[in-house]
Amino acid sequence: MSVGSPLNIGLILGAVIATAAVLIWVERRLLAVWQDRLGPNRLGPLGLLQVAADMIKILSKEDWVPPFADKGVFVFAPTVIMVTMLTAFAVVPIAPDVGIIDFNFGLLYFLALSSLSVYSAVLAGYASNNKYSLYGALRASAQTLSYEVFMGLSVMGVVMLAGTFDLRVIVEAQQNLWYIVPQCLGFAVFFIAALAESHRTPFDLPEAEHELVAGFHTEYSGIKFGMFFVGEYIGITLSSAMMVTLFFGGWHGPLLPPVVWFVLKTAVFIMLFILIRGSLPRPRYDQLMAFGWKVMLPLALVNLMLTGALVLMVGSDA
Amino acid sequence: MNVDRVQVESLVPLAIYFLLVLGVVGVMLAIPRFVAQRRRSQARDEPFESGILSVGDTHLHLGVHFWPIAIFFVIFDLEAIFIFAWAVAVREVGWPGYLEMLVFVSVLLAALVYLWKLGALDWRTRRQQLQDSLLSERG
């Protein structure tokens, strides 16, 4: 088995989609635990078959396009998030021989695709011809544009330390020291930016249900709504995988095989995403924007200059 | 370091993966066409706006405060691209490069402070601003 073999491609695609499906159940169960409830526990062992039931239900719902909507764009919008998020997975180095492709600009590819995914929300809101959807879309674009700027800057510290955009080389460079140690500031900024990009609480203002119904996907139902949902979970998985790759040594770890380490570490971050949803309130819109521009952007720039000085002082072997 | 170029053949796995992804999404969109139920109900063809009948369409005039965000993004993200280029080459350009970058980032931060003082980074509504100033007066 080698990077980019057909078996690799098939297994990774299958695993990512299966993870996204199981996450629906995981999130409901974990939120229930943290809120002192039971959550879905009836179907199958621990309620695991809930995943299958949800899938059957959502597939059998009417495939409806509202007559007042812009039809083509309305159908196109939910596919954007699915395709961009799934395609971005191609550059994630899962283990020494597991992955789809190794680019020497893998990190840029990830940043590009994760910013493309905002078109999903914007087009959906625009095509729905519904005022709530439009406001959701505007908020989504404003928020993503603001947090986009320092998301890229926050990972440049890692690039400086490793001297490359190639994700596999970045992981290999963390053999002895995970980049979370010299880059804890960069990680904090990246984590918050990733949270904002995925439009989840506390950054879920584009779909804040008590002011905008469901934001940009108000008019969506059935499988097209499901695609936004699954796309969001794939986004979370992708962000977690990137955090592990960039800051937590990727597949490195003692005893267990590399793939297991990668999956375990990624699972921890996915659960952290869910814990944050279960514990933090949603800020006001202007607070969210001000936080991005006035706190995170200067922090990212300061981290960058500090890392640059560090790299040059320690010398080329750092 | 040699100049890396991406060989077209090495992109084949990515192309296959991309086609598979398109296939999966296509199948997901296609299944409901065959198995899904169809329903008729009264208010189905109305936009859902919290039970209030929809008035007009969405081609309305939007608050201008969304517009500066786009401009700031263009400004700062373009600067970020220059920083990306420096980040990969930080060892090659050494301290002279670092000093130049320090000047560049300082200018960037100065621009940010200017926007801040100008009030361009304040997205509060007029009512919120009024409330906040009243609160701070009371102490």
In chain B, domain spans: 1-33, 66-139
Contact B104, B75 (CB under 8 A): no
Residues of B with CB below 8 A from A226's CB?
A: 28
A103 secondary structure, DSSP code: -
The C-alpha atoms of residue A25 and residue A163 are separated, in whole angstroms, by 40
Give Cα separations from A86 to A4, A46, A92, A221, B4 (angstroms): 15, 28, 11, 22, 26
**Contact with chain B for residue A66, Cβ under 8 A:** yes
Residues of A with CB below 8 A from B82's CB?
A: none
pLDDT at B4 (0 to 100):
56
Cβ–Cβ of B6/A142 closer than 8 Å?
Answer: no
**Contact with chain B for residue A129, Cβ under 8 A:** yes
Mean pLDDT of chain A: 84
Cβ–Cβ of B80/A152 closer than 8 Å?
Answer: yes
Please give, rounded to a whole number of angstroms, the shortest distance from the CA of B44 to a CA of chain A.
8
Stretch among A124-128, A215-219, B80-84, B103-107 having the lowest mean pLDDT = A215-219
Reported as a pLDDT band with limits 50, 70 and 90, residue B1 is very low
pLDDT at A250 (0 to 100):
81
Compute the CA torsion angle A96, A102, A103, A108 (nearest 10 deg).
-70
A143-160 confidence digits (pLDDT tens): 888 888 888 888 888 888
* Count of C-beta atoms within a 10 Å radius of residue B39: 9
pLDDT at B3 (0 to 100):
52
Residues of B with CB below 8 A from A153's CB?
A: 80, 83
Reported as a pLDDT band with limits 50, 70 and 90, residue B90 is confident
* pLDDT mean over A267-272: 91
**Contact with chain B for residue A163, Cβ under 8 A:** yes
Q: Which of B50, B80, B101 sits opposite A308 (nearest CB)?
A: B101
pLDDT at B33 (0 to 100):
80
Highest mean predicted confidence (pLDDT) among A220-224, A267-271, B6-10: A267-271
